[in-house]
Amino acid sequence: MSEKTIFKRIIDQEIPADILYEDDLCLAFRDISPQAPTHVLVIPKKEIVSVATIADEDQALIGHLYLVIRNIAKQLELDNGYRVVVNCGTEGGQAVDHLHFHLLAGRQLTWPPG
């Protein structure tokens, strides 16, 4: 059995987090190492490693995560815009093997990233 990721430990309430939203399907919390003034992580409670491992039956779950992101952006009044980032794999910058969406805002975000 593999070791739990830090996100699974947050879901299981073994590690505290600044939770902004939670329902049966997902959890949203502030990043402990923010890359922008607003940096929220939105994760499914289902253990999905990355975008590459999303199953066809996860379609509704992924749509739900985007609606949660939209609602959090409204709640935080991110009216000037925001960026949603999903890293996939080592070369894509993924640091935790649990699918997660970064909601970034509060400063001018440059392009291209990285």
Q: Residue 42 is encoded by which pair of tokens? A: 């939105």
Catalytic: 64?
no
Choosing from 39, 64, 100, 102, the catalytic residue is 100
List, in sequence order, every residue forming a beta bridge with 19; answer none if it has no partner: 29
Q: Dump the DSSP string for 25-80.
A: SEEEEE-SS-SSSEEEEEEESS----GGG--GGGHHHHHHHHHHHHHHHHHTT-TT
What amino acid positions are annotated as catalytic residues?
Answer: 100
